[in-house]
Structure formats: C-alpha cells, structure tokens
Structure 1
C-alpha cells in the first residue's frame, strides 16, 4: 500500500482546499494521472498519483483543508489490474491520452481529463464534464471547450422553448408579514466563500499576526515622468510593440532603491536575515478569483520595454487563469497598484515571507508649493511602503521612499541605467 501525500507545491504555499476528486474508491489509476485538484491562495493544482494501482481509500473530502505532507489517499500498488473488475487482455487502446487494457474501459470512460480552469468553469455553469467526454476525444478538456458546450446547450434549449408556448405555474406570493426581522432576512443573500477566498483571508490574517507590520507614506510629483511618456509613447510603441506605462518607471526605481536599502529585499528565517542579491519583483494583479502576484524575474536586468512586455504577459495569464506555480514562486519584493481602481490612499498588507510592499495610488492634480514659494498644479501620487518592523527600521523605510521619490521626480538616472 502506498500513501498519496500532498507534495511540496511552491515557496509560501503550505496547503490548500480540496476542490474535486477525479477518481472514486476502487478506481484504477496510473502513475502520473491527476487524481484530485486543490485550490491554494495563488493557483489551482492537480495532484497526480505517485504510483500505479487501485484507490483503496480517500482520506480527505471535498472542501477539507489539506497541508503539505497530509495523506489524502491510499493506493494499492500490488493490485493486479487484470483481476477483479478488469479482465486481462492484450489489446491496449488509448482513451483520453491514457494507454489502458480494454478490460479497464469502463473505468476509463469515467476518467475525465480536464484542466483546473475547465473544471472550475464547469462548476460555475453547472455542466457535467462527462457530457463533453465524447465531444473532446483523446484531449484534455479546456475551459474554452466548456464555454462552447454551454453556449451550444443554451441554443438547443432556446429552440425547444420556442416550439411550444410555456405556462407560468408560479404561485401568488404569500402576504408579507409586518415582522421586521423576517423582512430583513429576505433581503440577505448568503454566499459561500470559495476555497481560494477562504485561503486568501487566512493568509492575510496570518501576515498581520506574524509580522510587526508598519506603513510609511510619501507623495511623488510625476510631472516629468508624464512628460517623458507623452513625448516618447509613439516612438516607443513603434519600436517595441508595447505601451510605455508607469509600471516600468516604478519597477526600475524600486530595484535601484532596493540596492540602496537591501534590508527591504530580505526575508526573516528564525533568527537569521536572508539578504537577497537578486531582484524578482512581484506585481499584484486583480482577477475575478482574487489577488495573485506573478513574479517579474531578474527585474534589474530588464529594460523598460522588456518590463512592460513581461508585466503584460503575466497579467494576461493571470486573467485567463493560466498562471503556473513557477510564475508565482520566489518574489523578493512586491508592488501593488490600487490606483487603477481609483484608490487615493491605502496601507498594503505584506506578501509574506517578503518584508516590504509598495502601494501605488491614483494620480491626482493638486496644488504644490515650490521652493521659491510659488504654487503650481502638479500630477501627484501618494505612495505607501508597508514593511516588517522586526528587521526593517523606520529610518530605512522612510529613506527608501524618499529615494524612490527622488528617482521618479528626476527619472533620468532610470533612463540612463536602461
């Protein structure tokens, strides 16, 4: 008997919630076959069988939380596939990409190969994936297949409905009572939290409880950055095929500031501080499933165009639910931009085990007093730096933001570095 355990997933991912089992007790599996799907705070992951055999027991049920190392099933690796429910035959057909004995065909028919996003889409649209089995032969069902099937099914239902008049059997509502409590109860919609939302909530609370989190603020005059963007946006797009946005300026400035204040590019492990000499910057992206933070690798080695292109690529993958674990691992510092939603001021929460996160906000024209006491209207942005006060002193945090402000208000050093 072999124990199937939750394997190491990725840095900072310690577990998740069981979303779906693809097999039942008694099912025949081959090593590498996906047997269950778990949802973490970052991504959905399929857990494969670690040996060939028969599922003897399932230890964790749907919606149960699991951690790395937990036993989720027992597989009988000594079971003869040719005995019991499966006849021994020499024929080996292929069903949905699996080479199997014909004696296993009944089990294989029930085996559905689909991506996590396809399974999620099917749940949202109340589609039974078994209905797609014959329509997507020998391939892995994608979310686009589910959407296409749902549309086709909807069209069929519309045709059936149009053939004959429908009769409304809705009964007359009961007279509303004067009980205020009952009235308010009717106006409440109860929505169950998704496994990912529960996990995100848990992680955010843990971040606030485990770290001595503090936030410092500053404001940046972005008039020069905006002037550069206005002058160069057309030639930049023509040359590189991507738009020149604010994120490349901020990413460049953050990397330079981290080099000046390396304690913000660090991690605390027990009683040791790990100073990281590489700059993998997490860029927070909002999706329908919640916030995810794909990582911009070696940001210090990238030019403006490369940064803009990579951020665009990761953002598209996040919104299409196609991020892989490798896209989310190993960030050293995070940037989050609430300004795209109109946020003027906020205190971002640390993306542990990182010790620093920069919050960008909306650009707003405000009166500014210059050194000669003249008052001008400038495009200003509030920025917030949340940091772990256990290893980052307030002095370093404040000076980090001041240096960032200096770099962005006179961004020529950023341009020369590129």
Structure 2
C-alpha cells in the first residue's frame, strides 16, 4: 500500500486546497497520471501519481487545506480496479471483529503538539517541516529575512530561545475570531473565500500599506489607432492568424516609454534600486477566481503579431486555470484594461514589487477642441498611471504618461518599428 502525498511543487508553493479529485476510489491509475487538482495562492496545479495501481482511499476531500508532505490518499499497487477501501474493510469485518487500535501516548502527545499552520506565513518547505517536527507555530517565529520569509535557522533559533509567557491557544483565537463575526437580523449567505481570493486581498492591502502609491491621469485620442486597425486588420489576420487588437499598441507604447523613463521599470530590494534591462509586460486578465497577471516575455523583441498571439494564449490559459508559475513570475510593468467592462476612470493598484501600472479605460466619443479652435467628436480614452512615489517623482510619471499618449496618437512609427 502506497501513500499519496502532496509533493514539492515549487519554491513558492507550500500549501494549497484540494480543488478537485480527478479520480475516485477504485479507479486504476498509471504512474504519471494526474489524480488531483490543487488550488494554490497563484495557480491551479495537477498532482500526478508516483505509482501505478488502484486508488483505495481518499483521505483529504475537496475543499480541504493541505500542505507539502501531507498524505491525501492511498494506492494499492497490487489492487484490482473497482475495489476501494470501503469494500475491503467490509470483507475484513465479516472475517473477524475489528479491534480498536491501541493509541500510543507518545504519538498522541506529539500530534497534539503540532499546531495548525498559518496560511499567511511565508516559509520555505524545510522550515515548515522543521516547525512540524518541533511543534512550533510558524506565525510566532521571528525572521531576519527582509521579505519576511521564515527559514529553518529561524525555526531553530526560536526553539532554542528562552521560553516566554505562553500565547493564547488556537481554540481561544478561534473563539475570538468567531465573536468578531457580525450577526444579522435578516437573511445572509456566508461563502468561504477561495485561497486565491484570500491571497489577492492580502496582497492588495500590503501594497497600499507598503508603498507610496500615487496616480496620475491623462487622455488619449484613439482616432489614429482605430483608423490604422481598420486599414490593417484584415491583412493582419490573414497573415498572422490573430486579430490586431488595442493591447499590442499599448504594450509597444509602454516599452518605448519605459526605455525613456527606466525608473518605472525598476523595483526596490532592501536599500537598492534594481533597474531592469528587460521588458516583460504583465497583462491583467479577469477570471472567475479573480484577477491574474500573466506576463508577455521580451515585449521589446516581439512584433505586434507576437504580442497579440501571446495575449490570446495567456488569456485562454488563465480562463482554463492552466497558467503555470512561469507564466506569472518576473514581470517588470503591468497593463490593465478596465475599459473591457465599461470603466471610465479608475486608480489601478500596483502589482508589487513593480512600481508602475497603466490603466486603460472605455473609449467614448466626446467633443474635443482642436488646435484650430474647431470642435470635433473624437474617440477618447482616459489613461491612469499608478506609481510608487518612493522611486518615481511626479515629473517622471507625468512625462511617462504623456509619452505614451504621444505614441498612441501617432502610432504609425510604433507599427513600423514593431
């Protein structure tokens, strides 16, 4: 009998929630077959079977939180398809009365000493394993890591430190949390937040607390872009097999502006500025599970068709929950398009640790005063640039957004250079 365990998935994934079992008790599986889908903070991950055999028992059901190393089921390498632990246990009951297994006091004590791990704690898998062995709550372990990540030596140092007054027990904390719930006289529905939604909420609040975020606005006349798309869209589709959308124009304009204002392509690490010499542009995508930001790699080296194809592919993967960690990591700047849903104006929140995000909005025809003082009805879009004022001064931010406006209002050079 083999145990089905949560394997080491990636450096940044140590916990997850069982989203869906892809097999059931009694099913025959081959080594390498996907057997369970795990929802993590960032992406959904399929766990593959390490053995060939029959699923005899499912221990952790859908919706349960699990950690790396946890046993979630059992598999019999010599089992026959259609036979689960239910039928086998029934046979055993008919053969002889089942005796209550004797409890090992030392094991019982050891298990009760291991606290429930806090999903908000960032820790390496080795640190979590050591904490479980020592019966230490990771939320109580101080760390010297500037990013707050708990490492094995932090756990050892906490274990060897002089013991302080005991913290409130978990049941006490749970009772306190329960007492904070607002009771209503009228009907309500309580729905547990998904792990990803909890992470999104936590990250957005941290950005607001840990950055000096400011937003500047401008507007762009989309006449030239729309006219160019109208002229080229059929040939573009025929040649490249993908439609010419607005996003490639904005991605190219952002790359051009980042080259002129490199601090918007930077991030803070400790007391250093890391100015990136690459242009990996995150494109925000809305899914049923929340907003995700897959990354178009090397947008400066791709033509319009390459960018549009990447956006189509990443968008489909996002909606199908097929994004990998590689698809989401390492972006240097983000573009988000609230105009897709009809937004006229918004202040986008930074995608940390990036220091800039461009918000696109709805295109609306408005009367505009032209240089010769005549009035024309033009398709106008409001742009919003949120930036981290710790790195970027207001002058740079305003000039960055003006430069994007200029390139979009005269997009022929963008298309030729692209």
**Does TM, normalized by the shorter one, top 0.5?**
yes
- Which residue of 2 is the match for residue 189 of structure 1? 189
SS in 1 for 2:247: helix
SS in 1 for 2:200: helix
Contact in 2 for aligned 1:368/1:377 (Cα 8 Å): yes
Could you list the structure 1 runs, at least 4 aligned residues long, displaced by more than 6 angstroms after superposition: 20-23, 29-36, 48-52, 60-67, 107-110
- Which residue of 1 is the match for residue 277 of structure 2? 277
SS in 2 for 1:224: helix
Deviations 1:277-317 (A, max 9, x none): 11111111111111111111111111111111111111111
1:356 maps to 2:356:
yes
Contact in 1 for aligned 2:337/2:359 (Cα 8 Å): yes
- Which residue of 2 is the match for residue 238 of structure 1? 238
Structure 1: distance between partners of 2:82 and 2:257:
61
- Which residue of 1 is the match for residue 335 of structure 2? 335
Deviations 1:17-55 (A, max 9, x none): 5657899xxxxx999887975423421224679999xxx
SS in 2 for 1:301: coil
Structure 2: distance between partners of 1:290 and 1:407:
32
Q: What is the correspondence of 1:52-67 to structure 2 with a 5 Å cutoff?
A: none
- TM-score calculated relative to the size of structure 2: 0.64
1:300 maps to 2:300:
yes
Deviations 1:229-288 (A, max 9, x none): 111112222222221110110011011111111111112111111111111111111111
Equivalent pairs, count: 320
Structure 2: distance between partners of 1:270 and 1:6:
32
1:21/1:207 Cα in 2 relative to 1: closer, same or farther (>3 Å)?
farther
Q: Which runs of 5+ in 1 are unaligned?
A: 24-28, 53-59, 76-80, 87-99, 111-181
SS in 2 for 1:249: helix
Deviations 1:167-213 (A, max 9, x none): xxxxxxxxxxxxxxx99623x33333222222221121122222221
Structure 2: distance between partners of 1:391 and 1:369:
36
Structure 1: distance between partners of 2:242 and 2:343:
25
Structure 2: distance between partners of 1:409 and 1:290:
32
Contact in 2 for aligned 1:6/1:66 (Cα 8 Å): no
1:270/1:33 Cα in 2 relative to 1: closer, same or farther (>3 Å)?
farther
Q: What is the correspondence of 1:9-48 to structure 2 with a 5 Å cutoff?
A: 9=10, 16-17=16-17, 19=19, 38-46=38-46
Structure 2: distance between partners of 1:66 and 1:395:
48
Contact in 1 for aligned 2:255/2:279 (Cα 8 Å): yes
1:259 maps to 2:244:
no
Q: Which runs of 5+ in 2 are unaligned?
A: 24-28, 53-59, 88-182
- TM-score calculated relative to the size of structure 1: 0.64
- Which residue of 2 is the match for residue 164 of structure 1? none
Which segment is superposed worse, 205-214 or 224-233?
A: 205-214
CA RMSD of aligned residues (A): 4.1
1:316 maps to 2:308:
no
Structure 1: distance between partners of 2:398 and 2:221:
17
1:19/1:245 Cα in 2 relative to 1: closer, same or farther (>3 Å)?
closer
Deviations 1:43-91 (A, max 9, x none): 1224679999xxxxxxx99867778xx764699xxxxx9xxxx7xxxxx
Contact in 1 for aligned 2:44/2:322 (Cα 8 Å): no
1:46/1:216 Cα in 2 relative to 1: closer, same or farther (>3 Å)?
same
Contact in 2 for aligned 1:63/1:195 (Cα 8 Å): no
Contact in 1 for aligned 2:220/2:381 (Cα 8 Å): yes
